[in-house]
């Protein structure tokens, strides 16, 4: 019984070592993090120009050498610069690229709500002023209304 358990354990270890990993790294996993370096501004996965093929070839070569994704990304950033990244890093000055759109939307929302509040306040004040003023009717019109009311009696 112990021998069978040992053989089963050995077989599991061998099959695990020889089996390809379930989540193997492919070129598109790394390439989706970059744009092409030729200036076409396409994602590296979509670029069909020679420069895109060259960069994907570098990525494929590093994958066959069993490099992991962060190491390949570091190599490409070191060789080509951060301008190759599809999204800026979330540190240092690049953090403003992440925060500025949200800050602008928030500031715009505050300004719009203040403007709408001011418009509503002005309209309500105008309505209150219109309702507060006394209605003056000319005496001549009052006599005419009285005459017409007597005519109906």
- Region of 68 (left: φ > 0; alpha: ψ -120 to 50; beta: rest) is beta
Count CB atoms within 10 A of the CB of residue 59: 26
Tell me what pLDDT residue 31 has: 85
What's the pLDDT tens digit per position in 16-49? 455 444 356 788 888 888 888 777 778 888 888 8
What's the pLDDT tens digit per position in 83-136? 888 777 777 777 887 889 999 999 999 999 999 999 999 999 998 888 877 767
Range of 3-7, 41-45, 110-114, 146-150 with top mean pLDDT: 110-114
Count CB atoms within 10 A of the CB of residue 80: 14
Residues in CB range of 88: below 8 A, 6 or more apart:
82, 94, 97, 98
Question: What is the set of domains in the chain, with CATH numbers?
Answer: 23-87 (1.10.8.640), 90-153 (no CATH)
């Amino acid at each position: 019984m112990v021998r069978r358990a040992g053989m089963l354990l050995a077989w599991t270890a061998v099959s695990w070592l020889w089996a390809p990993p379930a989540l193997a790294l492919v070129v598109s996993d790394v390439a989706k993090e970059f744009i092409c370096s030729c200036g076409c501004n396409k994602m590296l996965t979509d670029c069909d120009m020679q420069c895109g093929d060259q960069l994907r070839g570098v990525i494929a070569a590093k994958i066959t050498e069993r490099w992991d994704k962060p190491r390949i990304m570091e190599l490409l950033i070191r060789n080509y610069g951060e301008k190759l990244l599809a999204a800026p890093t979330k540190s240092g000055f690049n953090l403003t690229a992440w925060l500025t759109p949200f800050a602008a939307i928030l500031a715009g929302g505050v300004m719009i709500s203040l403007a709408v509040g001011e418009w509503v306040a002005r309209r309500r004040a105008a309505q209150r002023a219109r309702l507060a003023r006394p209605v003056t009717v000319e005496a001549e019109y009052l006599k005419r209304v009285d005459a017409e009311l007597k005519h109906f009696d």
